[in-house]
Structure 1
Amino acid sequence: MTKERENIQKFMTSLREMHKVMDQVFRAIAVDMGHTPLQLFVLRQIAQAPEQSLKDLAEELKVSNSTMSGVVERLVQANLIKRERSTKDRRVLVMELTEEGQTTSNDFRQRFFAKLEGIKRLPEEDMQRLLALHQNIIARIKRDQATTTEER
Structure 2
Amino acid sequence: MAIDQEILEVSNMFRLLMKKASQDWNRGACKMNLTFPQFQILYSLKSRGSLKVSELADTLNLTSAAITGLTDKLCSQNYVERERATDDRRVVYVTITKEGVDAIDAVKETYREMIERLFDQLSKEDIQHLRRIFAQMLVNIDN
| Cα pair 2:25 2:111 within 8 Å, conserved | yes
Structure 1 stretch displaced more, 117-126 or 69-78: 69-78
User: Counterpart of 1:35 in 2: which secondary structure?
Assistant: coil
The code of the aligned residue for 1:108 comes to: V
| Cα pair 2:53 2:64 within 8 Å, conserved | no
User: Counterpart of 2:120 in 1: which secondary structure?
Assistant: helix
The residue that corresponds to 1:111 in the other structure is 110
| Cα distance between partner residues in 2 of 1:134 and 1:38 | 20
Q: TM-score, normalised by structure 1?
A: 0.71
Which one has the largest radius of gyration? 1
The residue that corresponds to 2:82 in the other structure is 83
The residue that corresponds to 1:9 in the other structure is 8
Q: TM-score, normalised by structure 2?
A: 0.74
The residue that corresponds to 1:149 in the other structure is none
The gaps in structure 2 that reach 5 residues or longer are none
| Cα distance between partner residues in 2 of 1:33 and 1:43 | 12
Change (3 A) 1:99 1:124: same
The code of the aligned residue for 2:132 comes to: A
**Percent of aligned pairs with the same residue?**
22
User: Counterpart of 1:47 in 2: which secondary structure?
Assistant: helix
The residue that corresponds to 2:43 in the other structure is 44
User: Counterpart of 1:96 in 2: which secondary structure?
Assistant: strand
User: Counterpart of 1:116 in 2: which secondary structure?
Assistant: helix
Change (3 A) 1:131 1:36: closer
Counting matched residue pairs gives: 140
Change (3 A) 1:31 1:63: farther
The residue that corresponds to 2:29 in the other structure is 30
Counterparts in 2 of 1:58-77, with a 5 A limit?
60=60, 62-63=62-63, 65=65, 68-77=67-76
User: Counterpart of 2:41 in 1: which secondary structure?
Assistant: helix
The code of the aligned residue for 1:34 comes to: N
Shift of 1:55: 4.4
| Cα distance between partner residues in 1 of 2:10 and 2:50 | 39
- The alignment yields a C-alpha RMSD, in angstroms, of 2.9
